[in-house]
């Protein structure tokens, strides 16, 4: 059998994540894999993601490489995927998810609550900005971009006192020892799909679609399907500070899906926060229904999310 070409972004985190998937393909499918690095718009620009259009800036170049035959399949951080299906592209598998929570890397081993009022915290995410502001800790929030190493270096050199990052990326890079606090979802709900990976290939490559489907984790797939249904329903042409987390849990009558979500104003002063449960097989409907309830409670009024700027929280 021919070697499969796996398209990946070139960052350390992306190649690490793609390497994990390549190992799964070798172990479970018995196919050899080579990584092909693809440069994306999100990697080439230093602009805030919200100014670049946010969703899709890390994805489109990899999809182009799939469609023109340069690679056979691609790996993305699932939270980067647009919710609208792409013509000719199949989401073949969503492997077992890493811990989806956010994590703090702060100077002197401090937690968020231990940082003095006025401390500088770096994040490029409107979702994190609004939820941090809602905590009312008196922190000064600074918009930053860059890879994991760049962001943590800003703490080490004193440019900021702390940064908030996805725990999953730090775990995959072997850098959990630098985490000073993992944030409870009650404090900060993660981005829809955070901690999960997406494996895409051409929908016409039916044999490869079927083979890659063996890497799918049903519980992870159900959870991210519900979260992305919330995102899709609430986005409606806008991008909002939005957190969502679904989990498959053991209920009285077997497994059920528990979903919670929050939409906030940029300053964190206003929010619509809701949760629901339902059958795992109805993941998409559960997410759509919860988002509809949130819209009915005024979530649409919170859906304008200007680019992150320096502010106090």
Specify whether the CB–CB gap between 28 and 38 falls below 8 A.
no
Catalytic-residue membership of 64: no
Burial class (CB in 10 A: 0-12, 13-18, 19+), 120: buried
CA distance 279 to 178: 38
Which residues, in sequence order, are CB contacts of 234 under 8 Å at separation 6+? 240, 242, 263, 291, 294, 295, 299, 303
Q: Which candidate in 43, 64, 80, 217 is catalytic?
A: 80
CA distance 48 to 43: 11
Phi-psi region at 88: left, alpha or beta (left = phi > 0; alpha = psi -120 to 50): left
Q: Which residues are marked as active site?
A: 80
């Amino acid at each position: 059998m021919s070697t499969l070409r796996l398209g990946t972004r070139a960052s350390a985190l992306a190649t690490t994540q793609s390497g994990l998937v390549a190992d799964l393909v070798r172990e479970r499918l018995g196919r050899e894999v080579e990584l092909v690095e693809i440069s994306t718009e999100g990697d080439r620009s230093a602009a805030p993601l919200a100014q670049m259009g946010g969703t899709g800036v890390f994805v489109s170049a990899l999809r182009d490489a799939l469609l023109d035959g340069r690679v056979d399949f691609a790996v993305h951080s699932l939270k980067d995927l647009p919710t609208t299906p792409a013509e000719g592209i199949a989401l073949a598998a969503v492997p077992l998810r890493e811990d989806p929570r956010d994590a703090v890397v702060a100077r002197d081993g401090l937690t968020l609550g231990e940082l003095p009022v006025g401390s500088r915290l770096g994040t490029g995410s409107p979702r994190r900005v609004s939820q941090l502001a809602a905590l009312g800790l008196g922190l000064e929030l600074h918009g930053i971009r860059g890879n994991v190493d760049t962001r943590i270096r800003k703490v080490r050199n004193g440019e900021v006192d702390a940064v908030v990052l996805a725990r999953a990326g730090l775990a995959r890079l072997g850098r959990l020892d630098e985490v000073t606090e993992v944030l409870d979802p009650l404090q900060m709900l993660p981005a829809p799909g955070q901690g999960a990976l997406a494996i895409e290939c051409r929908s016409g490559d039916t044999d490869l679609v079927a083979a890659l489907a063996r890497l799918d984790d049903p519980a992870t797939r159900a959870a991210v399907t519900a979260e992305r249904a919330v995102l899709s329903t609430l986005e409606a042409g806008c991008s909002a500070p939005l957190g969502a987390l679904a989990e498959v849990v053991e209920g009285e009558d077997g497994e059920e899906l528990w979903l919670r979500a929050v939409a906030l104003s940029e300053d964190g002063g206003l929010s619509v926060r809701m949760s629901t449960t339902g059958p795992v097989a109805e993941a998409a409907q559960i997410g759509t229904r919860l988002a509809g309830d949130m819209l009915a409670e005024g979530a649409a009024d919170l859906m304008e999310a200007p680019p992150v700027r320096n502010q106090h929280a």
